Amino acid sequence: MKTLQLTSSDRAILVRSRFFARLPHSTVDAILEGATLSSHEEHDVLFRQGDSIDDVFFVLSGLVRLYRLGKEGREADVAVFPKGEMFAENAMFLGHRVTASAEAAEASIILRLDSRKLRQLAAADPEVAQAIIEHLCHRGKMTEDLLAEDRLLTAPQRVASYILSHCPNGSTSFSFRLPFQKNVLAGKLGLAPEALSRAFSTLRQSGVTVKGRMIEIRDRQALERF
């Protein structure tokens, strides 16, 4: 872990993100006051379940995995945050205790905001509060989606659903590149890596081709039926 300066491209990521995009520049500046920047290698731990945290985190580049710990070192991902996402806001309003661990799933640059300051701003500026509210709604829906998929879909169906969520609507055949290692995808979908692999095999017969991180879909309909 290394401390850095906020570059202009970092700033571009920030102001384009769902959370900051809606706020005026002056407010963004106020939030950024006292923020610190750090770079992390894969597997660097940002915080641990049970820690007391005074920061809110923002992914400027890379990928962060949020997970809970179970018996005998088992881990269950509860969210995965790509570039442009903010997390650990919960702690800010829930006694600063964090209920999950976070680690970089690949080399990442992380911005750490002062949560006390952000909270003050939210109390003073309804626009900030509004932004936080929508952010929380969005996050809540994501988690709910995961929960529902876990409970309703089989492994191949979950993978199909993931693929479809990356499909530009209207196209019948398309392709895209996985934004991260299959390992991470497996975690996000609540699967063992082997199960993800087998799910891809199963989907092959529905017109899905996988080469490295490239996914190619021949027939969208076939996937939806799955």
Partner DNA sequence: CGCTGGGTTGAGGCGAGTCAACGGAAGTGG
Partner DNA sequence: CCACTTCCGTTGACTCGCCTCAACCCAGCG
Binding mask 67-106 toward a copy of itself (x if CB under 8 A, else -) reads: -x-xx--x-xxx----------xx--xx----xx------
Out of 7, 9, 36, 130, the residue judged to bind a copy of itself by CB under 8 A: 130
Min. distance of Cβ 87 from DNA in angstroms?
23
The answer to whether 194 contacts a copy of itself (rule: CB under 8 A) is no
The answer to whether 192 contacts a copy of itself (rule: CB under 8 A) is no
Q: How far apart are CA 209 and CA 189, in angstroms?
A: 19
As given in the structure block, the two tokens for residue 188 are 């996000």
* Touching DNA, residues 173-192 (CB under 7 A): 181-183, 190-192
Cα–chain center distance at 51: 20
The CA-to-CA distance between both ends of the chain, in Å, stands at 44
Residue 181 binding partner per list a copy of itself, DNA, none, with a CB distance cut-off of 5 to 8 Å that depends on partner kind: DNA
Q: How far apart are CA 168 and CA 191, in angstroms?
A: 25
Min. distance of Cβ 186 from a copy of itself in angstroms?
12
8 Å CB contact between 31 and 19:
no
**What does residue 159 show for φ and ψ, rounded to 5 degrees?**
-65, -45
**115-124 and 25-32 helices, crossing angle to 10°:** 140
Min. distance of Cβ 70 from DNA in angstroms?
9
Counted residue by residue, the chain has a size of 226
- Name the residue nearer to a copy of itself (CB basis): 151 or 211: 151
Residue 33 binding partner per list a copy of itself, DNA, none, with a CB distance cut-off of 5 to 8 Å that depends on partner kind: none
* Touching a copy of itself, residues 139-158 (CB under 8 A): 139-141, 143-148, 150-153
What count of Cα atoms within 13 Å lies in the side-chain half-sphere of residue 6? 19
Q: What contacts 167, CB < 8 A, 6 or more positions away?
A: 174, 217, 220
Q: In the complex, which residues of this chain contact a copy of itself (CB under 8 A)? A: 68, 70-71, 74, 76-78, 89-90, 93-94, 99-100, 122-124, 126, 129-130, 132-134, 136-141, 143-148, 150-153, 190
The residues that touch DNA, with contacts defined as CB under 7 A, are 74, 153-156, 181-183, 190-201, 210, 213
